[in-house]
Structure 1
């Protein structure tokens, strides 16, 4: 095995060390969450200006009246959630909370973050930022459901997805832009929105096609740091394990296992280990 192949294998071996014993769940809220509770009933931009002194009027908001603050209930405690109703406002809010004057352009497929804020007076607050849009930029026609229904399901997907990232962070000490983390998070997203997990639905969200080692969607965003010539191997590996994950999740749901059992099972086993005897080439 040459060094390039070894690096690729090591990449696929990423998973989380799950403690033998977990503390009482859910965990207590992080201290800053209490500050965000003061947002109740307030106009979002006014709250961010009054509470944290953020320069909210430096941006050309498209739908500022539709900005919302709520709270996610997770195994890691509650987390503030800011929801936008346009991709441009999503980019503005990302810039505002991170203390940047200029937005960073992101693909239309990216409409959610579990982010740690960097702006002055709000530094290191962990929040979820969501935009109201079709999940993974998948059209309602491809999903076979009306637009309004798909938008509602998309928000359920995003909220459960980002909550799962926060849970691996607080319970297992990390969260990554890695295919395994995305499978775990989308697993809970699918369960929240549809009550099940289907591999073919996940391929649609990722931009994969069964039996092919190419990607035309969201998964390519998470492997951008991998040499281009190696990405096909990762797409192939993810394609293979999705069927395995579908079987496992459906079995666990049929047993009525609770969330923490499913989370530890998914996050504690790498893509490499899930491949078993399948050929990685």
Structure 2
């Protein structure tokens, strides 16, 4: 049986019509690129980390808000409808012009700036900066400032974290300019700047934004947990979830708004927080705790695709997600009998990136995960020991 036939038959088994099958075959494309993974033992730190290490050190002394405001230009503007179209905002964010004399640069207002925390978090692929808001309102403001150009666009209640990727850091540009001019006193900076633009690693950053609230807007009582315990667990899930997106982007060249990415990231987040995977937790996070009914506002609707899946295809997607989560739990229970190590984490992560949602949800799902994990373990060993 060909792969396409297997995927098609699986979708049919879950009730997909011919048109819905075509939709889902497209939506479920796995674009993780394993050929990009060349080494695992000592990932090279990305260039922006040196500057962010300076921010972390400053934050330890004066607080994260005060440490970041002089350097991240969006911290210098309020959340205001239409601000992104003003000449001053464009000049500051697109050209790196100083905001010192700009009337609109009155600063980003946070309710609890003293609770803003910044650190460098270690992941399987190396460190990444993590910025944690003190409360929900401040998290929303940070997301709006850093990913919505300081516009007051609505942020879903189910969203408690995000990765800011490809952030143009004008502070790093100025650092580079100062160093270059010291070494090339007679040089033409305008010419060099055009060369700099061709090297995004010299000015584009990645970092994680986290909130402190309940994960996926799920109350502690819904999981039978105490409020404080759930907030602590939520932080661990959220941090590892976003770290996983960073890993897949760096190792496999992909970080999408797709349910496969979410299944993988939540798997690692739940295991990091709970010690083992809980399918019932994940299903509640995405709005499928009362399957076959879907709870409006659950996270699954955030990953419906572009263009969005039709109503019928979305129902089939719900069935696939439920089965995939349950298969993943069965696999994890078998795996949990052995010790969790960095090597085993890597093997499982690589394995999950090689499978499609149809495969995870199929009757052979557990077997396919196991087989892929064994193959991934062999591959990771060969990468570590060339």
- The answer on 1:243 being equivalent to 2:292 is no
Gaps in structure 2 of 5+ consecutive residues: 1-16, 78-105, 172-202, 365-386
- Relative to structure 1, the CA distance from residue 147 to residue 199 in structure 2 (aligned partners, 3 Å threshold; closer, same or farther) is same
What does residue 114 of structure 1 align with?
163
What does residue 251 of structure 2 align with?
171
- In the TM superposition, what is the alpha-carbon distance from 1:187 to its structure 2 partner? 0.5
What does residue 185 of structure 1 align with?
265
What does residue 312 of structure 2 align with?
229
1:179-222: CA deviations, max 9, x gaps?
Answer: 11111000011111100002112111111036516343111111
Instruction: Report if aligned partners of 2:70, 2:76 keep a CA contact under 8 Å in 1.
Output: no
- Relative to structure 1, the CA distance from residue 99 to residue 133 in structure 2 (aligned partners, 3 Å threshold; closer, same or farther) is closer
1:236-266: CA deviations, max 9, x gaps?
Answer: 1111111111112232332335210110111
What does residue 14 of structure 1 align with?
30
Aligned length: 278
What does residue 137 of structure 2 align with?
88
- The answer on 1:24 being equivalent to 2:55 is no
CA distance in 2, matches of 1:11, 1:230: 10
Gaps in structure 1 of 5+ consecutive residues: none
1:145-177: CA deviations, max 9, x gaps?
Answer: 111111011000000100111111111111111
- In the TM superposition, what is the alpha-carbon distance from 1:138 to its structure 2 partner? 0.8
1:70-115: CA deviations, max 9, x gaps?
Answer: 1111122100000002222112212333472323211211010022
- The answer on 1:204 being equivalent to 2:290 is no
Higher helix share: 2
Q: Identify which of 69, 79, 90 aligns with 1:49.
A: 69
TM-score after normalising by structure 2: 0.67
Q: Identify which of 335, 355, 362 aligns with 1:276.
A: 362
Q: Identify which of 350, 366, 374 aligns with 1:264.
A: 350
Runs of 4+ aligned structure 1 residues displaced above 6 Å come to none
Name whichever of 249-258 and 15-24 sits farther off.
15-24
SS in 1 for 2:132: strand
